[in-house]
Amino acid sequence: LTLERDLRHAIEAGEFVLHYQPKFHAGTQRLLGAEALLRWQHGDTLVPPSEFIPVLEETGLIVPVGRWVAHHALETALRWRALHHPSIRIAVNLSARELRSADFVEAYTAILGPHAGDQPIDIEVTESLLMDDVDHSTHLLDSLRELGCRVAIDDFGTGYSSLNYLARLPADEIKIDQSFIALLAHSPETMGLVTNIITLAHSLSLQVVAEGVEEEEQAKLLRLLRCDAVQGFLFGKPMSAKDFGARFFN
């Protein structure tokens, strides 16, 4: 496959880039951090993740690429902290394949361990990924938290986690999937559901982030519901580090 062959060369060729989507405190709208999202600069085209992440996962290339992501996000976070924003955090997404790699803990300890005392990197994992093997996942997430990373459950509400399971997970935050936020202002059922998700999360001492906030009305409702943080096109799309700096650090 041409795609696979091209992806094999993409790391050495320096073709991967990270874009950063800002995340804000819902009440004060203070900038809290960013989510790093992988892009592939292949020739003249910026290839979106939906077109190449499945291939990286199938081939196992996601393991070295994921480590590049962690390393690169760390460098960006350290630079931003030193120059512009002393408490900014950057979250990276982890796929199932990476969590199951034999040397996962060693590899992440090597990258993030030196900053464990003042860790700027957080981790996002999906519910379905964790459900595959709850005991092992719990152990891995504990290791990441020992490195000072905050752990977020991504796309929350789209999987099948039981309450019992959610209470046991070593997580710091849930990110409510954007499909719920899209319906928030138009569906009383969704409004009820999101209200209950936030109450439940807070009762378990989990912070709540709303994803995919596109309209002012959604942001207003989320503030009313005491949602902790917001992310979405209303506040900023994923953008290059340069554009992020120009927009938020001036």
In the chain, where does DSSP find H-type helix? 2-10, 49-59, 62-83, 96-99, 104-112, 127-131, 134-146, 163-168, 178-183, 188-203, 216-224, 241-248
Nearest residue to ligand G, scored by beta-carbon proximity? 232
| Residues 93-112 within binding reach of Mn ion (CB under 5 A) | 93
Site string for Mn ion, 154-193 (x = CB under 5 A): x---------------------------------------
Residue 92 or 203: the one with the smaller Cβ distance to ligand G is 92
Question: If binding is defined by CB under 5 A, does position 98 make contact with Na ion?
Answer: no
* Least CB distance to Na ion at residue 91 (A): 11
Residue ranges in contact with ligand G by CB under 6 A: 21, 37-38, 48-50, 53, 62, 66, 69, 92-95, 124, 154-155, 178, 211-214, 232-233, 238
Q: By CB under 5 A, how many residues form the interface with Mn ion?
A: 3
* Least CB distance to ligand G at residue 244 (A): 14
Q: Is 216 exposed, middle or buried (0-12, 13-18, 19+ CB in 10 A)?
A: exposed
Structure-derived torsion over alpha carbons of residues 119, 121, 127, 130, reported in degrees to the nearest 10: -60
* Least CB distance to Na ion at residue 146 (A): 25
First to last CA, the chain: 45
Residue 49 or 113: the one with the smaller Cβ distance to Mn ion is 49
Positive or negative, the Cα torsion across 75, 78, 80, 82? negative
User: Among the candidate windows 70-78, 130-138, 151-159, 185-193, which touches Mn ion by CB under 5 A?
Assistant: 151-159
- Please select the residue that binds Na ion; options are 35, 98, 122, 154, rule is CB under 5 A: 154
Rounded to an integer, what distance in angstroms lies between the CA atom of residue 152 and that of residue 93? 9
* Least CB distance to ligand G at residue 14 (A): 16
Tokens of 243: 């554009």
User: Among the candidate windows 1-9, 89-97, 164-172, 216-224, which touches Mn ion by CB under 5 A?
Assistant: 89-97
Q: Rg of the chain's alpha carbons, rounded to an integer? A: 18
Residue 209 or 225: the one with the smaller Cβ distance to ligand G is 209
In 84-240, where does DSSP find H-type helix? 96-99, 104-112, 127-131, 134-146, 163-168, 178-183, 188-203, 216-224
Tokens of 62: 């996601």
